[in-house]
Amino acid sequence: MAEQIVATPEIHEYVRTVSLRDDPLLAELRAVTAGLPGGSAMQVMAEEGQLLALLVGLSGARSVLEIGTFTGYSTLCMARALPPDGVVVTLDLDGRWPAIGADYWQRAGVAERIEVRIGDAAKTLATLAEEGGDERFDLVFIDADKAGYGTYYEAALGLVRREGLIVIDNTLFFGRVVDPAVRDPDTVAVRALNSALRDDPRVDIAMLTMADGITLARKR
């Protein structure tokens, strides 16, 4: 049985060379984001954006919920993969970051598919449930403050349809999850969610050792 290979820089470069389909608009937004304080650490890598677009297409999603917009790179990737009448509802605490992405959404011709909600994510998620009821989204992408992950996952499970997909970013959290000496609130929250997902009978799961760890949870 083949074992997990070590992803050396050479392997990363090979994978990027043979599989990444990039374009100038996405590259420009990544560059702008990387120039922001903490931008490189907070934005999804190009390959992950491509994976998100693929998952939107594979799931046949028409409605996507994104918890954590930042500059809207992942928002753009998913909106492009939607049908013309599809929608991404994206949540962020601070409107200045999505404002950066808005120009790129417009230039890509998908601005009308994107609805931005600004405010505390937990409160916005409760509002969304009140507005449209449960199971209104086909896919949910969680990439926000890690301390809130448990709350966001439970809300997402109610808002996603049966057999819908929840994608959770940063589930390896810079490798900190494997170091028992690391006890900061964010790492503790990610560890707790990972353990809960393993034993959650409501979903089928797979954790990918891609990027900073990506967990896929399909609602049963």
**Domains of the chain by residue range:** 9-219
Backbone angle region of 163, left / alpha / beta, with phi > 0 → left and psi within -120 to 50 → alpha: left
Give the total residue count for the chain.
Answer: 220
Predicted TM-score (pTM) of the model is 0.96
In the numeric block, which tokens belong to residue 49? 């954006």
Joined tokens for residue 197:
């997902």
pLDDT at 135: 87
Using alpha carbons, list the distances in angstroms from residue 87 to 14, 50, 58, 218.
34, 18, 16, 20
The per-type count for the chain, helices as H runs and strands as E runs, is 9, 7
Contact status, residue 118 vs residue 94, Cβ threshold 8 Å: yes
The SS3 of residue 150 is: helix
**Model pLDDT, residue 26:** 97
Query: What's the rounded Cα separation, in Å, for the pair 213 and 201?
Result: 21
Q: What dotted CATH number matches 9-219?
A: 3.40.50.150
Q: How far apart are CA 60 and CA 88, in angstroms?
A: 13
Q: Residue 1: its pLDDT value, please?
A: 60
Mean pLDDT of successive 10-residue stretches along the chain, which has 220 residues: 83 94 96 93 94 98 98 98 98 97 98 98 96 91 98 98 98 96 97 98 97 97
Name the residue with tokens 């049963």: 220
User: Cβ contacts of residue 109 below 8 Å, gap of 6+?
Assistant: none
